[in-house]
Amino acid sequence: MSLPLAGLCAIVTGAGRGLGRAEALELARLGAAVVVNDHGRPGRDGSGAASAEPAEQVAEEIRAAGGTAVPHSGDVADFRQAGELVRLAVEEFGKLDILVNNAGILRDRMVFSMTEDEWDAVIRVHLKGHFNTTRFAAAHWRERSKAAGAAVYGRIVNTSSEAFVAGSAGQPNYAAAKGGIVGLTTSTALALAKYGVTANAICPRARTRMTEDVFACLRKPEEGLDPLAPEHVAPLVGYLASPTAAGVNGQLLVVHGGMVAVLERPRVRAKFDSKQEAFTYDELDALLTPHYAGRPAGETFAAAEVLGLKRG
């Protein structure tokens, strides 16, 4: 079997269950040594006591299959603990090569009902959690590159969502965090390219603890692989983490059920120029009102329309 990640070290956050677990197992199958991170709180809203058990179980699963793994149960949304996670990878395996950010929680509420804590908690875990690990991994790669006087190997795979692409009425906190992750990813891709590091984001659609209500109407088949199984997402993460994907940088990809869609950055749909030095209200009314007449009130990016996306 081909082992494109042999000799490489990977961190996967939120790897105790669902997507993160599938991704950690895939990276290990492809030859990487994996640091399995999961804070272990049982509630999908981040509630409950933290536990080392989920991370330890997945690490043991990897070792039982002949791979190499160590667990880490720290909270990646905590700046210090995220730094400790990256240091653990370097201490255990000599270097870090791959960072997969997957950890997240949900606290769904309509925007007019959402509390400050519900907003802050989701932004903290998703967006700040992605930043924290990225910051320490980026510093590690920059230092190695400067010491070597050459580019090094580095891969970041971040987890965004179709909730950002298509909108999600009951998830303003989640959609905002996932949109922020795309911005973080493209900024990081530009900043680290000269060091040999790539950064990409995926929008996975999978049946997990976090999406159980979203896909409740789509029953899991009694036989065969579920089209919404996390195992459909993991190979793309393995590819983006591999040497073969060196030319893929700053990209956003939707993946589920045997499909991968590469999304374009937003394009200009229409452009209007004032016939005078600056626009007036009346001129804008004459130009823009007819342009939007007849369009759906909730229309978002064309990519969402093409993919037929709703919520996820």
2 is an active site residue: no
Among this protein's residues, is 174 annotated catalytic? yes
Nearest to 174 by CA among 133, 232, 125, 216: 125
* Cβ atoms within 10 Å of 231's Cβ, excluding its own: 15
Cα gap 90→294, rounded to integer Å: 57
Out of 168, 178, 239, 242, the active site residue is: 178
Residue 84 CA, chain-centre distance (Å), reads: 21
Q: Are 245 and 196 in contact (CB under 8 A)?
A: no
Q: Is 161 a catalytic residue?
A: yes
Q: Please choose, from the candidates 190, 4, 159, the residue with its C-alpha nearest in 3D space to the C-alpha of residue 97.
A: 4
Which pair of tokens denotes residue 294? 């007849």
Amino acid at 210: M
In 217-293, where do the E strands start and end?
Answer: 252-256, 259-263
- Which residues have CB under 8 Å from 246's CB, separation 6+? 198
Exactly one of 145, 168, 174, 239 is catalytic; name it: 174
Catalytic one of 73, 145, 160, 161: 161
| Residues that are catalytic | 161, 174, 178
